[in-house]
Amino acid sequence: MGKEILFGTFPVLIVFLVFIGVNVAPFIIAALVLSLLMFVIMRQGGMSVTQKKTSVDTPKTQIKFNDIGGQERAKKELREALDFLIHKDTLKKYGIRPLKGILLTGPPGTGKTLMAKAAANYTNSAFIAASGSQFVEMYVGVGAQRIRDLFKEAKQKAEKNNQDSAIIFIDEIDVLGGKREGSQHREYDQTLNQLLTEMDGITTSENPRILIVAATNRADMLDDALIRPGRFDRQIVVDLPDKKARKQILEIHVKNKPLADDVDIDAIARDTFNFSGAQLESVTNEAAIYAFRENSTEITQRHFSHAIDKVMMGEQTDRESTAEERERVANHELGHAIVSEVVRPLSVSQVSLRPRGQALGYVRQSPQQDRYLYTVENLEQQIMIALGGAVAEEIIYGGRSTGSRNDFEQALHLVNTMIDTGLSRLGIVKVDMVSREALHEERQRILNELLEETRAVLRSFFPVFKHALDHLLREEVLNGDEFRAMIANAKNMVKKDNLEKIDTQLLNA
Ligand code: ATP
């Protein structure tokens, strides 16, 4: 609208100035320079999608569905949707309207881009990729122009390659297709409208046919116009991989790496609960880097173990701590580890005293199986594990330190989960309707009871602290099996008649 008003008023102004005898030449020259400048800016805006895109759009190493580990259900759904593109003549016969858009939703790094590339390969389509953020500009109209260019280019590319379809992949679609609210910038509106217009223009008879595959991890943020039938008709969830899928992904990424005989992919898959495909790829890469740094000809299980820690906790830091602090951290971590191993046997994979990221030490747990539902017992066990560090400090030093802040946050979060899900003594409640006092009381009751239980566990296994502490201070790392041997030893000691002895040790500690 602004452009039209400008173009309309300018000639009128010039005629008026000529009429009153003003020299208009400088105005005309200035206007020409200004238009040229705007044209260049718009061109650059339009170009950038193309330029950025070409860096990612030619999957030289053609990705196939077999190169994507796990995601069986998502792959199946996607393949079924793609068959619409392959058998388009049959669809025409039935009068089925073309599938225009597929929306892949899921957390970052789960393989959505890989899926889109595999889709292009499966359907022998030209592939063009762009990201939602590439369409967001402060100049009105630039984003819309980029959308037009993108569609044009996809068609040209398919024609050039003699392909009769093209897949446009738009990552982070939520950036350009977020819910439209009153105050929204007009530029977003225009860009989204252009995308909708282009999608509406897709017909069965069109050649080459365009299919849009978009990805987001915020499907709830998308504008309704975008997800209504006829636009993004298929929504496919690409979720975090389960253990079997993690194993498959790891196997894909270690194919080109020299592995030592001791590498146990199954154990790595078990230890990487909640990792995305991208994180698993990073684990294999970091393990190779550790091996390379050590000049080792093969990548060993130890390298993988370091790599998991690095991806989970961040790079090792050089934070210098005093001997006293180190000992306290070691006992704190042992507190977590002892409770973990006692309430969930075989759960400790490693206790480490190497500072990583923000943590001065940590316990890596390896769940025996992936868990998506929790019972009261599971939650209570988790709370006890979280409290174990602080309770260990309390028993050994007579008081806690600030190192337990995150543990308490975690414990409180779990207690709230218990209350919210009707697993507390309050029963099934709407939390907003319960008085603050009642909630506080219930939280305190749960925490106090579990604190008591945690104290009892750590008191019974007190001898483990002594043995494990020496080892941990010396070696910095204690692996799960070594630790379990110490627990087993302590269990033998923890016969009724030994309790007195332990109490004396406690008093002397
Ligand atoms: P984002 O949402 O952050 O854009 P994404 O879901 O598109 O992420 P990809 O870019 O497809 O994730 O994956 C990143 C990398 O992670 C891939 O190049 C690949 O190395 C690895 N990866 C992710 N998922 C898988 C998988 N299922 N199988 C094999 N490798 C995977």
Residue nearest to atom 11 of ligand 1 (CA): 111
Q: Which atom of ligand 1 approaches the CA of 104 most closely?
A: 6
Residue 500: pLDDT band with limits 50, 70, 90: low
184 Cα: distance to centroid of ligand 1 (angstroms): 32
Residue nearest to ligand 1 atom 3, measured at CA: 108
What is the sign of the dihedral through the CA atoms of 413, 414, 418 and 424? negative
Measured CA to CA, the distance from residue 455 to residue 463 in angstroms comes to 14
| CA distances to 59, 254, 256, 277, 300 from 285, in Å | 21, 9, 11, 12, 13
C-alpha–C-alpha distance, residues 276 and 313, integer Å: 15
Give residue-wise pLDDT tens across range 415-455: 999 999 999 999 998 888 889 999 999 999 999 999 999 99
pLDDT, tens digit (0-9, with 9 covering 90-100), for 456-487: 999 999 989 988 999 999 988 898 889 999 88
Structure tokens at 150: 């993108």
> Which amino acid residue places its CA nearest to atom 8 of ligand 1?
109
Atom nearest to 217 CA in ligand 1: 2
Query: Quick one: average pLDDT of 249-258?
Result: 96
- CA 69 / ligand 1 centre spacing (Å): 10
What global pTM score does this model have?
0.75
Pocket probe for ligand 1: among 65, 110, 216, the residue whose CB has the most ligand atoms within 8 Å is 110
Identity (one letter) of the amino acid at 347? Answer: S
Q: Residues 314-335: what's their mean pLDDT?
A: 86
Rounded Cα–Cα distance for residues 379 and 421 (Å) = 11
CB contact at 8 A, 300 and 257: no
Q: Which of 137, 153, 187, 333 is catalytic?
A: 333
CA of 399 to the centre of ligand 1 (A): 46
- How many helices (H) and strands (E) the chain has is answered by 20, 8
* Ligand 1, atom 16: closest residue by C-alpha: 278
Amino acid of residue 25: A
Q: Nearest residue CA, atom 1 of ligand 1? A: 108
Average pLDDT over residues 335-364: 89
Catalytic (active site) residue 333: yes
Centroid of ligand 1 to alpha carbon of 100 (angstroms): 23
What is d(CA 211, CA 391) in angstroms, rounded to the nearest whole number? 58
Taking the CA of residue 248 as reference, the ligand 1 atom at the shortest distance is 28
In this prediction, residue 55 has a pLDDT band, given cuts at 50, 70 and 90, of: very low
Residue having the nearest C-alpha atom to atom 31 of ligand 1: 277
Give the model confidence (pLDDT) of 61-105 as tens digits.
Answer: 588 999 999 999 999 989 988 887 788 778 778 888 778 899 999
- Res. 137 pLDDT band, cuts 50 70 90: low
Q: For a ligand 1 pocket test, name from 57, 76, 103, 113 the mutation site with the most ligand atoms within 8 angstroms of its C-beta.
A: 113
Residues with beta carbon inside 6 Å of ligand 1?
A: 68-71, 108-114, 171, 215, 217, 249, 252, 277-278, 281
Residue 307 alpha carbon to ligand 1 centre in Å: 18
240 CA from centroid of ligand 1 (Å): 11
Contact between 339 and 380 (Cβ < 8 Å): no
Atom of ligand 1 minimally distant from the CA of 245: 27
The pLDDT assigned to 51 comes to 45
What's the 110 CA to ligand 1 centre distance in angstroms? 5
DSSP assignment letter at 178: B
Give 17's pLDDT tier (boundaries 50, 70, 90). Answer: confident
Atom 15 in ligand 1: which residue has the minimum CA distance? 278
Nearest Cα neighbor of 234 from 51, 80, 415 is 80
Q: State how far the alpha carbon of 121 is from the alpha carbons of 62, 69, 74, in Å.
A: 7, 17, 16
Sign, CA torsion 498/504/506/509: negative
